[in-house]
Amino acid sequence: MTTLADRARGRDNNFNLVRLLAAAGVLVSHSWPLSGTPVDPFERFAGFSLGHLGVDVFFVVSGYLVTGSLLARRSLGAFVRARALRIFPALAASAFGTALVIGPLVSSWPPARYLTAWGTWRYALQNSTTWPWGVCWWLPAVFLHQPGGPAVNGALWSLPWELTMYALLAAFGALLLRPRPWLTLAGLRWIVLAIAAAATIGHGLNEAFDWSHAFRIVQGLRLVALFFTAATLRLWHDRVPLSFAGFAAGAAALVAALALHGVALTLYPLALTAVVLWLAIVPAGPVRLYNRLGDYSYGFCSRTRESAWRSSRSPRRPPLSRSQRCRGTSSRPRRSPARTVAKRLRLRRRDREQRRRFRGTCSCERDQTLFTPPDEPGRTSSPSVNNDQREPGVDRPPIRVLLHCRNSYQFTL
């Protein structure tokens, strides 16, 4: 039986293409309210817009990839740093660019009045994070007469929800990634499964009995169910079968849930997750060529904030041939400067650890030459020292011991 873990290895997949299609759906869906049209055709069928479906796809992809990022990190700080670098620099650039570059061009106020208004700086500062204080929707005297209302960037509404999911995963990671963990991986699996099941059942019952029409409750239950359903499949990926039959069953359940509404929407989170993950992992061939272009969904919609981290490492590079070693050339791709610096820092850290390990293990006469390089290639010399010539208690500098040990010179103490 082929499992999700078997097919999800490496970085050659369709997640970038899936995100692009979801962002395009959001972009097309926004054209209806901005043009004054009440609803888009998809909303007449499913009860919610095509843009909401695109957001749901983003949360499925995010739940799967970000959970894998948490499991791949060695510390909570590394996970939080990766999430912050993924989201906040681009978000801050978008917020300040919208408020200070585009805003003065479209505002009906004079530039001096606009740039000194508190609403301008509140939009830039608050929307640089959006969590936990929410989104600022308006800029002074901007889009006052638009059919869709004065909201400047309505696509930001889902970002606080996703950051809340990240915060929950970080809380679990704080318990899991401790030197002495307070939470095991098995315990995390059952906790995430319980959250996904509770949110899914709550979403289905709320849709069936119309308990609440509040936006936060309706959207919150659905988004939590989608994110943690995908996270559950990632945590149990070595036991989840992945086949075309499962994809077909998920697609049929998805269509039935959208057409029947009500309690049938209980199937929606699991069905959509199964369809999205199959499309992102299984199809191969020419469709994978899009990966050469990169993730352009950032340019379509500000909702594309998921991590591109894949928990599995890329395949090992092929070894160098003898001619390549002699010429000093290589078919391997050159390392980026950042990776080169990181490697040098790792080597220095390893050398310091080896020095501490060898410190105090070698004593000999300070000026006596103990180690000599080989006289001939392929042969090593083994000099020895008379015990009478040694000064007890005198330590040889550990750096010389380390260097000779790394050069594989044989020595006798």
Same domain flag for 68 and 199: yes
Residue 315 lies in a domain: no
**H-run or E-run covering 254:** helix 244-260
Instruction: Kindly state the greatest CA–CA separation across the chain.
Output: 99
Domain boundary among 299, 325, 359: 299
Number of neighbours of residue 268 by Cβ within 10 angstroms:
25
Q: How far is CA 54 from CA 42, 249, 302, 386, in A?
A: 12, 21, 12, 79
DSSP 183-217: S-HHHHHHHHHHHHHHHHHHHHHHHHHT----HHH
What is the domain count for the chain?
2
Strands (E), 163-288: none
Residues in a beta bridge with 3: 241
Residue 44 lies in a domain: yes
Rounded Cα distance between 394 and 363, Å, is 5
Cα dihedral 20/282/237/77 (nearest 10): -40
Domain range spanning residue 132? 4-299
Cα dihedral 309/310/311/314 (nearest 10): -120
Residue 108 lies in a domain: yes
Rounded Cα distance between 6 and 312, Å, is 11
Half-sphere exposure of 156 (CA within 13 A, CB side): 25
Q: What is the pLDDT of residue 362?
A: 45
Same domain flag for 355 and 294: no
Rounded Cα distance between 62 and 79, Å, is 14
Residue 321 lies in a domain: no
Q: How far is CA 312 from CA 8, 46, 87, 237, in A?
A: 8, 36, 22, 12
**Chain CA centroid to CA 147, Å:** 36
Domain boundary among 269, 299, 329: 299
Rounded Cα distance between 98 and 89, Å, is 14
**Chain CA centroid to CA 266, Å:** 28
| Nearest CA-CA partner of 231 in 162, 279, 175, 295 | 162
Kindly give the confidence (pLDDT) of every residue in the chain, 413 residues in length, as a single tens digit, with 9 standing for 90 and above. 789 998 888 778 999 999 999 999 999 988 888 887 777 888 888 888 899 999 999 999 999 999 999 999 878 999 999 999 999 999 999 999 999 999 999 999 999 999 999 999 999 999 999 988 899 999 999 988 888 788 899 889 999 999 999 999 999 999 999 889 999 999 999 999 999 999 999 999 999 998 988 888 999 999 999 999 999 999 999 999 999 999 999 999 999 999 988 899 999 999 999 999 999 999 988 888 887 776 655 555 543 333 333 333 333 444 445 444 444 444 444 555 556 777 777 777 777 777 776 555 444 443 333 344 444 444 444 444 444 444 444 444 444 444 444 333 343 33
Domain boundary among 275, 299, 323: 299
Same domain flag for 255 and 400: no
Q: What is the pLDDT of residue 338?
A: 59
Q: Which amino acid type is present at position 303?
A: R
Residue 390 lies in a domain: yes
DSSP 21-82: HHHHHHHHHHHHHHTT-S--HHHHHHSS-HHHHHHHHHHHHHHHHHHHHHHH-SSHHHHHHH
Same domain flag for 386 and 257: no
Q: What is the pLDDT of residue 284?
A: 87
Same domain flag for 258 and 398: no
Same domain flag for 290 and 352: no
Q: Which residue has the tokens 């697609």?
A: 251
